[in-house]
Amino acid sequence: VVGPLPLPAYHRDVTVPKYGGKLPYHRRPVTGKEYVDINALIQRELKKAPRFLAACCESDGTNLVILTTAPRGFKSGDRVTWFVLFHNVAGTGYYLSPVGLEVLVDHGDLQVSRWQLHKVFYNGRYFASTGDLEREFVAGALEVVRLKQPQADAVLGSMRPRRPPGSPGPLQFEPQGPRYSVRDNRITFQGWSIAFGMSPNTGPRLFDIRYRGERIVYELSLQEALALYGSNCPGGMSTRYLDGSFGIGRFAYELVQGLDCPYTATYVDRHYLAETDTPKTNQNSLCIFEHDSALPLRRHFSDSQSLYYGGLRKNTLVIRTISTLINYDYIWDFMFHGSGAVEVRVHATGYISSSFFHGQGTDYGNRVGPHTLGTMHLHHIHYKVDLDVDGQLNSLETQDMEYEFVKDPWSTQNTIERPYLRRKRLEREDEAAFPLNAPMPRYLSFVSPNPNKWEHPRSYRIQTISFAGKHLPTSSSMERSISWGRYQLAVTRRKEEEPTSTSIYNQNDPWTPTVAFADFINNETITNQDLVAWVTVGFLHVPHAEDVPNTVTVGNGVGFFLRPYNYFNEDPSVDSSDSVYFSSEQDAGACGANPLACLSSAAACAPHLPPFHFGGFLNL
């Protein structure tokens, strides 16, 4: 810790009070220098199998690339990693071109010269060394799948356009400039006020989210992204990536204007310090824009009694960043609606990870190329939501429906199945920990002690949209390191000593986790307390032919809403200056009666777009 900001005068080591002890060095994330040294070791070992490499891959080893897996072993102290080898083709993703060769490297010793290659896997068989692999091949005792060196114009997964550009698509622009403002790290927009930031490890995080001057959320932050794989190859079957250890914010690179975000969005640089003595900048790596969803937020056409139309466009403020974590690209969105709702959403795209197709590979995915198995995996994402609904002291209330069978009041011969509302206050943390994929009350709200005008507690509802896979069995030796994944939602007392649900040190020592979220839940009372909701969303992904070249965002988005529930006395969007209303007695084409009729003059000129610029390759 350094402080006080903005002019630090002291620094102190808080490792022991934060983690309860010193951190073993073997838990450290792998650095770029360590990967360089591992690659050098693998290249030396590959030179011991020249004839095998020439036969299997038309290679001498130098045009093969390695992909790390994690975690690295089976017990605390291990630093033994499977690396999967792929053909490297310039200008395209190598992740779909495995050659069938995988190597196990022990890189735990602090002396690099003592690192060793412990095991080799090829096409379903294990060998003690690359030398043994070569001898088996020379003796004719090894079945080799002979792969041609891929060509850039025909490689599986190439993203190069196959057709010349067509006419430009629709373009969103602001006729009179942005209606939001960005000053330092604070955004204001139509009653909203948000402070934004980016952690190099855990990625995007928002603080002090206010609507109409009242704080709704103290902290809304991404905590972790888990990708857990299955395969009949050792690298794939042992992979459980915890992306916070790699750097969700660190690897959020420059956004492409007009594709990653609207062309005229506001782009913001983000800075971080990692593996260097000086700060680094990912320029234009976060964008802010107002989005017209082309959907009414609300509307009604009255065709009886009086004739009128009333409505409001669903315009939303969006804060977005995109992280490239090895093969996958995660699009992180935070959206702010005119109804007072906050929407959090993540989409997955990028390349699938793959294994070499052999044996019963289709038990673990689908074949997507001549020798490529798209390996099944799950994406589970964890968020921290520190709500302060009408103050810091909140309680948790659930509501759901039941049916009651009653005789209808106007006839004793008949019965009615009448739905009724079942309300319940949850008193303790254990009650508020909802297991993943188990039934959960349809309405779950943080409630204030204070009522609205209609005598209901002012509340905000948490509504999740998720298709999560199954959590790792609790019998697993590494499960406690991702024990946040046990719960689709858990509500705990807020504590300064429980700032995050995981740690960057959990990846390389998941067997003795530095932070175990399960320990946060200890049945404390949650009535009129400062509470935090921890939300897990995700989906199971079984790759298929249409994941080539890339996984598409369609159907691969999950998230949650924070929605006002009796927080206001009516929908706050009624005060929007974008509201539209006209009746049969008015001239709907008159600008004074209908703001939509003003657009033809207000948006008469197309915007002057700045020249396209992208410098994202310059600062890698």
Catalytic residue among 106, 243, 260, 329: 243
Beta bridge mates, 53:
none
At position 385, the amino acid (one-letter code) is: V
Identify whether residues 384 and 489 lie together within a single domain: yes
| Residue 45, H or E segment | helix 32-46
The string of DSSP letters for 55-115 reads HHHS--STTEEEEE-SS-SSSTT--EEEEEEEE--TTS-GGG-EEEEEEEEE--SSSGGG-
What helix, strand, coil percent values describe the chain, rounded to 5? 15, 40, 45
Identify whether residues 61 and 207 lie together within a single domain: no
Counted residue by residue, the chain has a size of 620
Beta bridge mates, 386:
219
Beta bridge mates, 320:
287, 333
Last residue of a domain, one of 565, 588, 613: 565
Confidence (pLDDT) at 363 = 97
Residue 620 has pLDDT above 90, yes or no: no
What is the residue-averaged pLDDT of the chain?
95
Identify whether residues 119 and 209 lie together within a single domain: no
Look up residue 222 and give its two tokens: 């991404």
Give the mean pLDDT of 52-68: 95
Identify whether residues 322 and 445 lie together within a single domain: yes
Q: What is the pLDDT of residues 122-175, one digit of tens each?
A: 999 999 999 999 999 999 999 999 999 888 777 888 888 889 999 988 888 888
Distance CA 202, CA 249 (A): 6
Last residue of a domain, one of 548, 565, 582: 565
Residue 22 lies in a domain: no
Identify whether residues 316 and 208 lie together within a single domain: yes
At position 477, the amino acid (one-letter code) is: S
| Residue 495, H or E segment | none
Residue 192 has pLDDT above 90, yes or no: yes
Distance CA 517, CA 501 (A): 5
Residue 504 lies in a domain: yes
Residue 561 lies in a domain: yes
pLDDT-derived band at 588 (thresholds 50, 70, 90) equals: confident
| Catalytic residue check, 328 | yes
Last residue of a domain, one of 530, 549, 565: 565
Burial (0-12, 13-18, 19+ Cβ within 10 Å), 564: buried
Contact 44, 103 (CB under 8 A): no
Beta bridge mates, 444:
398
| Catalytic residue check, 25 | no
Residue with tokens 């207000």: 602
Residue 617 has pLDDT above 90, yes or no: no
Q: Chain-centre distance of CA 427, in angstroms? A: 31
Domain CATH code at residue 54: 3.10.450.40
Confidence (pLDDT) at 63 = 92
Identify whether residues 133 and 197 lie together within a single domain: no
Q: What's the structural domain count of the chain? A: 2
In order of 368, 522, 538, the CA distances from 510 in angstroms are 32, 21, 21
pLDDT-derived band at 18 (thresholds 50, 70, 90) equals: confident
Confidence (pLDDT) at 619 = 67
Question: In this prediction, what percent of the chain has a pLDDT beyond 70?
Answer: 100
Backbone torsions φ then ψ of 464, nearest 5 degrees: -100, 150
pTM of the predicted structure, to 2 decimals: 0.96
Contact 560, 535 (CB under 8 A): yes
Distance CA 540, CA 376 (A): 8
Residue 100 lies in a domain: yes
Residue 145 lies in a domain: no
Domain CATH code at residue 268: 2.70.98.20
Q: What is the pLDDT of residues 70-100, one digit of tens each?
A: 999 999 999 999 999 999 988 888 999 999 9
Distance CA 387, CA 209 (A): 9
Identify whether residues 225 and 108 lie together within a single domain: no
Identify whether residues 123 and 240 lie together within a single domain: no
Confidence (pLDDT) at 599 = 83
Domain that holds residue 349: 188-565
Q: Residues near 514 by Cβ (< 8 Å), separated by ≥ 6?
A: 19, 23, 27, 503, 505, 506
Identify whether residues 376 and 449 lie together within a single domain: yes
Residue 21 lies in a domain: no
| Other residues' Cβ atoms within 10 Å of the Cβ of residue 133 | 26
Identify whether residues 106 and 240 lie together within a single domain: no
Identify whether residues 117 and 250 lie together within a single domain: no
Look up residue 583 and give its two tokens: 């009746």
Residue 371 lies in a domain: yes
Identify whether residues 375 and 521 lie together within a single domain: yes
Residue 602 lies in a domain: no
Distance CA 413, CA 264 (A): 67
Residue with tokens 């995700």: 538
In our burial notation (b when 16+ CB lie closer than 10 A, e otherwise), range 400-419 reads: eeeeeeeeeeeeeeeeeeee
Catalytic residue among 122, 211, 328, 330: 328
Residue with tokens 């673990």: 364
Contact 273, 200 (CB under 8 A): yes
Residue 241 has pLDDT above 80, yes or no: yes
